[in-house]
Structure 1
Amino acid sequence: MILQVILNIATVTAESTAASTSMNSEAILSIVTISISTILSIGAIILSIWFYKESTSQNKETALMQTEMKNAVEKLEQLYNRTYTDTFGALKTQLSAMQKHIFTSSVGDTDNSEPNQLRFSILGCVTDKKSLTVDELCTHLKGFQKGEIIEMICEIQKDGIVDFNGTQINTIIKEQPVEGVGEE
């Protein structure tokens, strides 16, 4: 339709120029340039419409992918939270069970026939509390006499593990040298 209008204008212009004089080269050049610029502008309009449609469809696809990625991330977060909770819950339960087993078995009713049982029981109590009295230790250790307990504490003191003043038992904390520090 636009092309027809241009052609009509060109023909009218050509007839009017032909009628007055023969078409000079300037008029022909002008008609050709008008026709070419009109064709190029129509092509540009068509391309801009096509680019608009393509960008709209790409935007829709991008929005769908973004939604899919968001859902995938949420599922991963849920899986991570569930795994984290399950793993650390199990570790905490195992640690509690191990501590309860270690401290109740070495501190509760003991079997006197087992060698060094008293020593292990005392060390378990002392390392758990860091500082306690002989009377407190005797209430924790059942099945042993106070004399046996004090005798074993003295032996442990000779080994340099605890500090014992007759009534109070304290754990001696030895600082471990760090390798490479202070050595030349």
Structure 2
Amino acid sequence: MKTLPKLKPHLFIAGRLLIVVSTALMVNACGSRSPKDAVSADTTGVRKTLDSLYMAFGFPPGGQPAWDVMRRLSLPGAVFVSAPATGIIRGGTGIESFIADYKSYISNSPIQKTGYTEQILNTAIIRVNTVAYATVTFKARVPNEGHKRKPGIDNIQLLLNNGRWQIVAFTTQAESEIEK
């Protein structure tokens, strides 16, 4: 009999949390509440968390993103799935691996000197009690870049934890093509 490979504890916990969050959203969607009720729930706190996250991604020329803000906004065990890239098999990582990958990207690209920002263009949020799901369309900006980037999209699951909205899962599809 084959045995399954052992998962790292933080990925196992995050995986179970994703199942719980997804199940809660599905159960609520099938319940007596109308989809309009779920969508109309107060999303102010979720929006503030998302605004803080996207501000943290950016940095001035020669600066760094707000790493501690990213850590604070992430629930312990949160899963981050990076954008697709040639030769890379996508998989979930924790916040520290996400930050390490981002640091590596910055140090190996011209944006370290130019700075970088991400602007939220549109946000769709579904909130059910202490669980929220957000789809965020964003625009990356690099000063003096000679072309325009296409918008990217992020899918983010959040959990209200001790009065604070924190990221449970984050999947990104960055702008992979350049607009002409």
Give the structure-2-normalised TM-score. Answer: 0.21
Higher strand content, 1 or 2? 2
- By relative contact order (CA 8 Å, sep 6+), the higher-ranking structure is 2
Task: Name which one, 1 or 2, has greater alpha-carbon Rg.
Answer: 1
Give the structure-1-normalised TM-score. Answer: 0.21
